[in-house]
Structure formats: C-alpha cells, structure tokens
Amino acid sequence: MSNARRSERGPMMTGGTPLRSLDEEELLGHIFPAFPPGADLVVAPGDDAAVLRTSDRTIATTDTVVLGRDWLDAWSSGADIGHKVVAQNLADVAAMGGVPTGVLVTLVADPELSLEWVLDHVRGLAEVCTAAGVAVLGGDLSSAPPGVVMVSVTALGRLDGEPVLRSGARPGDVLAVHGSLGLADAGLRLLQADAPDRLPEATERQRRPEPPLAAGPQAAAGGATAMLDVSDGLLRDGGRIARASRVVLDLDLSALVPDVDALADVLGAEQALDCVLAGGEEHSLLATFPAGVLPAGWRAIGTVRAVRDDEAPAILVGGRVVTHTGWDHFRAT
C-alpha cells in the first residue's frame, strides 16, 4: 500500500475503551480466551514461552504491518488486519511446501487504541488460525507513541518433505499459479477511489487475503521445483524465481486473459493488466513444475527456459522484458 504512508488517530483510537485504562493482566484476560488451542501445543502461552510439538524440520518466517503504511483505519477493521497479517505469514510457510502450525503475535500500540479494536483484531486472527489449524504460541504487548499501531507475526510450520525454494526452477519447467491474480490490488485501487462496492470480491481480497495454504504441500509432493507466494506482484516475484534459479521465465499473456477480464469491466483494460502483472498482496502461490505433472488446481501461465548468452535471468511477458520496480519500504517516494 505504497501511497498510504501516513499515520492517523482515527476511529480505532477515538471510540470505546482505551487500552491505557486496563492493566496488562486484564488485557491478556480478554485476549487469551479467544485464541485457538491448536493440536500441536504442548505448553500454552502464559509461561515464559510456549512449547510446540515439532518434526525434524521447522519453517519460520515473520512479517509486520504498520498503521498508515500497510493499512488505513478507514478501510480495514481490526478483524481484517488480524486476518491479513496472519494469512500473509501462513502463505510464506505454504510457499516453502510446509503446513503452518503456530504463530506468535506482537501488538505495539498507542495506549489510546480501543480495546474494542483489539478484541475485533484478535477475533480476526483467531478465525484464520482456527481455519488453518494453527495454534497461537504467544505474543507481546507494548505501548507506542501517539498514532502508532503495528502488528508483527511470526509463523512456524511443519515440513514433511523437502523445502521448495525459489532457486530450483529448471529449463523446460512449466510456470503455474494457484489462485487469483490482481484481485487484491484491484481492491486497493477501488478503496483509493472510494468505490469499494464496484467489485466487492476485490475489496474483500485486499482486506482478507485467502492464500491457498493446502496447495503448498500439494505442490511440494507433486514435484514443484520452485515456489513462492505472490506478495509483491507477479513480475517482481517471478523475477525472484528467475534470478535465484538463473533462468528465464516467459509468461504467456493469453493465459492471463481470464484474470484481466475479471477486472477490466470495472478498472479498464490497462489498469486491469497492471493489477494482474504487478499487483501485490494477493498471496496466491507461484511455482514451477516439470512439464506434464501439474497438480489439480494449478494452471500453467508460462514456461521456463535457459538464460541465453546475451541476457540476464528475468521474467518476460510474451518474450519481451517488462520493467517494474515495485516499491521499497524505506526509499522516499
């Protein structure tokens, strides 16, 4: 959400019961009961640390969202943010070929933040954890300067087979996607245009991404050679596979026509194509497979070929280089 770079003290801080009116134990007393227990939890949160039943290899990843940079109070509820920050972490576990098992959640917030927002937030994250069979392993609460709210999640996962890295794509592989493309970015554009109802499916995807978690281990078992989740856009994330694997990915634009068509009526063809090629926060899975073995639910959108003498590893669209720089967290824009 590159153009939402501002802090605010909106409704989430001005209605209801401010956090400063509770002590930490009271606050945790509200929060803990909402957490799903999780099948693999040996020691629940509340001691120095939690204990999780694990296999011989554990996947770990972390991702943080900041009010004003990653979301706006006016566009997303507490539950939306709880859902989104957990879902994007679980997507990273799935993108390694793993099954998410646990999360730790840290809330750093202006003490004016309302308890009602926090409880709604906890409901959102508990829902997505419950649906995925994921335990809440713990967390931390800290106060922050006025207007600041951030949520940081660490997700753990179980790896039953070999991890699927970005670096394993081989010439001759098929490039495939599981899930939608461009929908979350279209939703962001509609929110920015104050027209969220023009394509509710897109707005909902922006607010509550639905990564195809089961498709990660499915792809790993089905022979995927490289995989990641589309968090920064098809071109940017595809470029990561290309560079890590030292190959060229060639997107077949005709395979993306259904994705573009789904958005073009509302956004126009040009913006729709931009959403599909460069839209972030979708959290669908992008992977490469040996030709002929595409598992159910995956659709081919391109091919992998060797790098020629005169070129660098890259992602091409219909054989041509398309540049897209995306955006950086610290760079002034």
Residues 273-312 that bind a second copy (CB under 8 A): none
212 contacts: CB under 8 Å, gap ≥ 6 = 94, 178, 179, 284, 285, 297
User: What are the backbone angles phi and psi of residue 72, rounded to the nearest 5°?
Assistant: -120, 140
Q: At what angle do helices 269-278 and 183-192 cross, to 10 degrees?
A: 120
Which residues sit in the known binding site for ATP? 139-140, 166, 231
Given 38, 68, 124, 179, the residue binding a second copy (CB under 8 A): 68
* Sign of CA pseudo-dihedral 109, 111, 113, 114: positive
Q: Within 21-50, which residues bind a second copy (CB under 8 A)? A: 21-24, 27, 42-43, 47-50
In terms of CB distance, is 154 or 203 closer to a second copy?
154
Given 60, 193, 221, 269, the residue binding a second copy (CB under 8 A): 60
Q: Within 222-281, which residues bind a second copy (CB under 8 A)? A: 227-229, 244
Which residues sit in the known binding site? 48, 61-63, 70, 92, 139-140, 166, 229, 231-232, 281, 327
The region of 122-130, 143-151, 194-202, 217-225 touching a second copy under the rule CB under 8 A is 143-151
Distance CA(188)–CA(80), nearest Å, equals 14
Residue 157 found at the interface with a second copy (CB under 8 A): yes
The region of 153-161, 265-273, 290-298, 312-320 touching a second copy under the rule CB under 8 A is 153-161
CA distances (Å), origin 120, targets 16, 78, 80, 328: 12, 5, 9, 30
Q: Are strands 174-178 and 247-251 parallel, antiparallel or unpaired?
A: unpaired
Contact string (CB under 8 A) for a second copy, positions 93-122, x = contact: x-xx-x---x-x-x-xx-x-----------
14 contacts: CB under 8 Å, gap ≥ 6 = 112, 114
DSSP 186-237: HHHHHHHTT-GGGSHHHHHHHHS----TTHHHHHHHTT-SEEEE-SS-HHHH
The region of 139-147, 190-198, 199-207, 256-264 touching a second copy under the rule CB under 8 A is 139-147
In terms of CB distance, is 9 or 305 closer to a second copy?
9
Which residues sit in the known binding site for Mg(2+)? 48, 61-63, 92, 140, 229, 232
Where does residue 249 rank: exposed (0-12), middle (13-18), buried (19+ CB within 10 A)?
buried
Minimum distance, C-beta of residue 318 to a second copy, in the bound complex (Å): 27
Residue 17 found at the interface with a second copy (CB under 8 A): no
Given 81, 99, 126, 137, the residue binding a second copy (CB under 8 A): 137
